[in-house]
């Protein structure tokens, strides 16, 4: 794994980054600061905080000590400069684009994405006047051809949900760099343990922390992590960061905060106005989950590949899409970007189409039929009837969620038990 710190490796940082012993009490487990607000020392102290002239806490919609610890941990693990934790992964996607976009502007978006993201980008953002231009995620040249004077960002998933498609981050980063816009990468499926997109040119990384980072399916959240490397200063494409802000007496974020400009804007304006803050309790749960992230992801990957190999040979299965299989068209890209494993969320096509897919869901016993991934438990879903239901048939197929598709999120149980459950369910299809 990448050495993210001159002294410590990834596993050590997953445990220790951002969570030193509590200075007030000596508590070793980081506290839950379950509070809405914070007492100011005096009037001058309050004024300096509201003017962004001094660091500190004002109100938990903007930031909170427990949330800040999670932001520091995740920024460290991704190799970023700063982080902004949000109420959900969908909220993180919106916060990532909020300082960049304006009515009439465009974001170029990979067409193989989580169904909720496709709806958010393609429909809901139209209410803001933002236009999403969808292109083939497997063709970097398609991104280049889609660039216009209105382009303000490029958005991809490192490992696409649900099909496990590995995207060529480096090639698309070059397109973004040539266009002078940030590359935003959703790294939820890979996690920073398997892939660090900023190594390959990403400017912003987002996660649904709900998934592998939290790890047990009990805390919803998201995060935006800034590399600190994009040049905002004197960049006319991004006036929110490069021109005087009327909200803060003409302060220019890029000039005042340098490589922390995006993160400071996200807290001072994006969270302030959109209000999609994460609760201290959910941040605390996620902090604890991340401590075991490397151990869990290793087992997830091992089990996932074992199950994929089993399904590839099963007579009731038409195909399996897992980048760890040598038969996968994404095998080489997987080895490049995720040499330690390509995750445990993947799809397969069951013979018999839509009806067989629904019957399979009702036949499993160990698997849980839920709309989530990255849990310690093994999970199963039929995307065409759930997460991708609102898309057109053409969009579902393009996203890898056709009528026969089953999505699996393989947990950390015994691999032989997972396989036995899938086998009996597939055999029940006749």
What gap in Å lies between CA 380 and CA 408, rounded to an integer? Answer: 5
Give per-residue pLDDT as tens, 230-275. 999 999 999 999 999 998 989 999 999 999 999 999 999 999 999 9
- Tell me, what DSSP letter sits at residue 266? I
Q: 293-427: what CATH class?
A: alpha beta
Distance CA 154, CA 183 (A): 5
Domain residue limits, the chain: 10-100+182-289, 293-427
Please report the pLDDT score of residue 6 as a whole number: 62
Q: Which residue has the higher pLDDT, 370 or 417?
A: 417
What is the maximum alpha-carbon separation in the chain?
A: 75
pLDDT digits (tens, 9 = 90+) for 118-163: 889 999 999 999 999 999 999 999 999 999 999 999 999 999 987 7
At 357-381, the pLDDT tens digits run 888 889 999 999 998 999 999 999 9
CATH of domain 10-100+182-289: 3.40.640.10
Q: Taking the alpha carbons of 136, 140, 144, 150 in that order, is the dihedral positive or negative? A: positive
Structure tokens at 299: 């087992």
361: helix, strand or coil: helix
- Which ranges of 364-402 does DSSP label H, i.e. alpha helix? 393-398
How far apart, in whole angstroms, are the C-alpha atoms of residue 355 and residue 352? 7
Alpha helices in 124-228 (DSSP H): 140-146, 169-179, 191-194
DSSP 127: G
Question: Hey, is 33 helix, strand or coil?
Answer: coil
Express each pLDDT in 141-150 by its tens digit: 999 999 999 9
Q: b vs e for 352-383, b when ≥16 Cβ sit within 10 Å of the residue's Cβ?
A: beeebbbbbbebbebbeeeebbbbbbbbbbbb
271 secondary structure, DSSP code: I
φ, ψ (nearest 5 deg) of residue 407:
-100, 130
Peptide bond into 162 cis (omega under 30): yes
Contact 256, 232 (CB under 8 A): no
Interior/surface letters 290-314, b for 16+ CB within 10 angstroms, e for the rest: bebbbebbebbbbbbbbbbbbbbeb
Amino acid 430: pLDDT: 73
């Amino acid at each position: 794994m990448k050495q993210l710190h001159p002294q410590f490796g990834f596993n050590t940082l997953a445990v220790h980054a951002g969570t030193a012993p509590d200075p007030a009490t000596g508590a070793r487990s980081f506290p839950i600061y379950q509070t809405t607000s914070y007492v100011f020392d005096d009037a001058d102290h309050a004024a300096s905080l509201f003017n962004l002239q001094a660091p500190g806490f004002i109100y938990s919609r903007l930031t909170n000590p427990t949330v800040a610890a999670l932001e520091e941990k995740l920024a460290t693990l991704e190799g970023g400069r700063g982080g902004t934790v949000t109420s959900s992964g969908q909220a993180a996607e919106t916060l990532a684009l909020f300082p960049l976009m304006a009515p009439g502007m465009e974001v170029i978006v990979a067409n193989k994405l989580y169904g909720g993201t496709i709806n958010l980008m393609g429909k809901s953002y139209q209410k803001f006047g933002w236009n999403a231009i969808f292109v083939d995620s497997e063709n970097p040249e398609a991104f280049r051809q889609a660039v216009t004077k209105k382009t303000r960002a490029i958005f991809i998933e490192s490992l696409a949900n649900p099909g496990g498609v590995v995207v060529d981050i480096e090639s698309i980063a070059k397109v973004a760099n040539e266009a002078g816009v940030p590359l935003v990468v959703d790294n939820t499926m890979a996690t920073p343990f398997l892939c660090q997109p900023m190594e390959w040119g990403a400017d912003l990384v987002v996660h649904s922390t709900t998934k592998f980072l939290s790890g047990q399916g009990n805390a919803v959240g998201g995060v935006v992590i800034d590399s600190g490397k994009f040049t905002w200063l004197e960049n006319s494409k991004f006036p929110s960061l490069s021109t005087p802000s009327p909200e803060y007496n003409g302060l220019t974020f890029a000039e005042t905060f340098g490589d922390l400009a995006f993160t400071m804007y996200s807290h001072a304006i994006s969270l302030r106005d959109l209000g999609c803050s994460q609760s201290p309790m959910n941040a605390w749960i996620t902090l604890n989950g991340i401590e075991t992230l490397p151990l869990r992801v290793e087992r997830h990957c091992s089990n996932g590949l074992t199950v994929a190999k089993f399904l590839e040979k099963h007579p009731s299965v038409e195909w399996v899409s897992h980048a760890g299989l040598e038969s996968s068209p994404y095998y080489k890209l997987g080895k490049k970007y995720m040499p330690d494993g390509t995750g445990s969320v993947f799809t397969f096509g069951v013979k018999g189409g839509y009806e067989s897919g629904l019957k399979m869901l009702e036949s499993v016993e160990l698997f849980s039929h839920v709309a989530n991934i990255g849990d310690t438990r093994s999970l199963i879903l039929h995307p065409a009837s759930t997460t991708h239901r609102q898309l057109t048939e053409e969009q579902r197929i393009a996203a890898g969620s056709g009528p026969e598709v089953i999505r699996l999120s393989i947990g950390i149980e015994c691999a032989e038990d997972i396989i036995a459950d899938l086998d009996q369910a597939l055999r029940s299809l006749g």
